[in-house]
Structure 1
Amino acid sequence: MKKSFRYVLYLMIGFLIYQIIDSGETGFSHSEVKNTLIIGMVIVFVLLLIVRVIKQRYDNGDEEE
Structure 2
Amino acid sequence: MRKPFRYFLYIMVGFLIYQVIDSGETGFTHKEVKNTLIIAMIAVFILLLIVRVIKSKYDNKDDSKGQ
Among the aligned pairs, what percent are the same residue? 72
**What TM-score do you get using the length of structure 2 for normalisation?**
0.88
CA distance in 2, matches of 1:5, 1:21: 24
Unaligned runs of 5+ in 2: none
Name the structure 2 match of 1:27. Answer: 27
Q: What is the CA distance between 1:29 and its match in structure 2? A: 4.3
Aligned residues: 65
Name the structure 1 match of 2:54. Answer: 54
Counterpart of 1:64, as a letter, is S
Unaligned runs of 5+ in 1: none
Query: Is 2:14 the partner of 1:7?
Result: no
- Large movers: runs of 4+ above 6 Å: none
CA distance in 1, matches of 2:56, 2:38: 27
Bigger radius of gyration = 2
**What TM-score do you get using the length of structure 1 for normalisation?**
0.90
RMSD across aligned positions (CA): 1.1
Cα distance change of structure 1 residues 29 and 20 upon mapping to structure 2, 3 Å threshold: farther
CA distance in 2, matches of 1:3, 1:30: 32
Counterpart of 1:7, as a letter, is Y
